[in-house]
Amino acid sequence: MQDAILLAARQSEFILEMAGISKNFGPVQAIRDVNLVVRHGDIHAICGENGAGKSTLMNILSGVYPHGSHGGTIRFDGEERHFHSLRDSEKAGICIIHQELALAPLLSITENLFLGNEIARGGVIDWEEAHDRARTLLDRVGLTEDPRTPVGDLGIGKQQLVEIAKALAKDVRLMILDEPTASLNERDSDRLLELMLEFKAKGVTSIIISHKLNEIRRVADAVTIIRDGATVDVIDCADHEVDEDRIVTAMVGRELSDRYPARDPKIGEVRFAVKDWQVADPQHAGRDVIRNVSFNVRRGEIVGISGLMGAGRTELALSLFGRLHGKYVSGEVSLDGRVIDTPTVAKAIDSGLAYVTEDRKGAGLVLEESIARNTVLANLGKVSKWGFVVDAFAVFDTAAEYCRKMRTRSHDVLQKVGTLSGGNQQKVVLSKWLFTDPEVLILDEPTRGIDVGAKYEIYKIVNDFVAAGKCVVMISSEMPELLGTCDRIYVMNEGRFVGEFAGAEASQEKIMRAIQNNQSIGA
């Protein structure tokens, strides 16, 4: 395989060749003898499971891990390069855009675009020229905002475009995008992919790391697949049509005949019900974020909530779980026919609810703490003596048991959660909430930013949960995920439920039609 990759490099015009790249973190080998060749003007996709080494490879390329801390050679534009810092790679024309955007929310767009590369005369920033250059860059990425606008006032999709404009300000020749659409809705994702194709037409080379195989099929000229820190396959899309099954098999090391594990649902009586739930916007008087929503979930059932970004799905989940969002107006929640009161997170947990946030890094985990501590965080009483002394041995044993059940990949349970891959972090979040022994599990974008293999394992965990007679509410922006896992799907738009479909009868077309019709329903 390695000889074939290097031979391909010698036979074609290429902007980048990484050969024999290896990197260790202490005794752990993150990547070993990885090869990557990228042609001029291509969009080159890199695929692999979480923890396969994709981001490590790109951090080596961009100088985050400096020359001397890794093995192998990097050739850029035909010359061997030794990047000792991010600034070194940027000077060469290589810019990396991480999944967690590196923007200062309180600074303006202009200030963010030229941060560290200010336009100055005699040591004084020339704001007029800076704003003019910012407008030119924003035009290139299709943004019409005033350059003086604080970045924090923009949605995540527009912030992503600001990051790309920031790269263009540095005369980028090779742009690296790490999971660029993971946090974007479908419209913003389409816009970003179209922008990549426009840059390609202008000669800009891109590397995209993505778990979304439909996006790879749409834009990639070549695909490199990495598994367990090594290159295992390379697909030239000019010679072969992108075969999703081939990519998945190479990623996980086995065939996944079905992306969603088989399940024989045993659905019983209604267990969880929400009636006439109404929540007001705390910042805008007279505006409701949730409008008279009613729905139910039966024993052993997975119920999905679909809708466009901004439809109110996350706001609904947060308002139900301890009223974390909005101002409660009216409505009731019941479990097994008994009305439950959930005005705080603690009471929601005591009532049998658990909520897995869409933001695992910002709200779901304490990244500087260990797997062990994160696992027990929502139910410390269960691992405490006399109600206030935490039993360290019980914490360790509990975390080890959940790591075993979840197949969480780590050195040990004392490893910091922030050092885990996205898929393994998500398993720790799930472990934390399953340890509270909930009856109703609310999942908000449960597989965002994780690979197909990790997704499959999480679906199996969810299936096991409902097989025990419990209930799941799943919010997802990926319609295939809802269609592949849910027994029923509610459709939400503008804070209301506008459609309901049995899983077997649902389709993307029906869901979109319900959104367009925007007719409120009851349950």
Residue 134 has pLDDT above 90, yes or no: yes
Give mean pLDDT, residues 33-59. 89
Clarify whether residues 338 and 480 are in a common domain: yes
The pLDDT, as a whole number, for residue 522 is 59
Residue 419 has pLDDT above 50, yes or no: yes
Structural domain boundaries enclosing 227:
2-93+173-252
Asked which of 138, 157, 172 is the last residue of a domain, the reply is: 172
Name the more confident of 387 and 398.
398
**Amino acid residing at 118:** E
Sequence length of the chain is 523
Give 3-state DSSP helix, strand, coil % of the chain, rounded to 5: 35, 25, 35
Give mean pLDDT, residues 219-247. 85
Domain annotation covers residue 182: yes
Clarify whether residues 215 and 343 are in a common domain: no
Q: How far apart are the first and last CA of the chain?
A: 57
What's the total number of domains in the chain?
3
Q: Which helix (H) or strand (E) holds 110?
A: helix 109-113
CA distance 235 to 99: 24
Domain annotation covers residue 382: no
Asked which of 147, 172, 197 is the last residue of a domain, the reply is: 172
Tens digits of per-residue pLDDT, 287-344? 899 999 999 999 999 999 998 777 899 999 999 999 998 899 999 999 999 999 999 9
CA distance 207 to 37: 11
Clarify whether residues 89 and 178 are in a common domain: yes
Q: pTM value?
A: 0.71
DSSP string, 328-368: EEEEEEEETTEEE--SSHHHHHHTTEEEE-S-IIIII--TT
Q: How confident is the model at residue 254 (pLDDT cuts 50, 70, 90)?
A: low
Closest CA to 392 of 410, 407, 413: 413
Lookup: tokens for 278: 């109404």
CA distances, 14 to each of 8, 10, 44, 246 (Å): 9, 8, 12, 25
Clarify whether residues 499 and 462 are in a common domain: yes
CA distance 429 to 435: 10
CA distance 163 to 97: 7
Tens digits of per-residue pLDDT, 187-201? 778 888 988 998 899
CA distances, 370 to each of 82, 425, 427 (Å): 35, 11, 13
CA distances, 446 to each of 160, 209, 212, 430 (Å): 22, 19, 15, 9
The pLDDT, as a whole number, for residue 6 is 42
The pLDDT, as a whole number, for residue 3 is 47
CB atoms within 10 A of CB 502: 10
Q: How confident is the model at residue 255 (pLDDT cuts 50, 70, 90)?
A: low
Alpha-carbon radius of gyration of the chain = 24
Clarify whether residues 7 and 88 are in a common domain: yes
The pLDDT, as a whole number, for residue 277 is 96
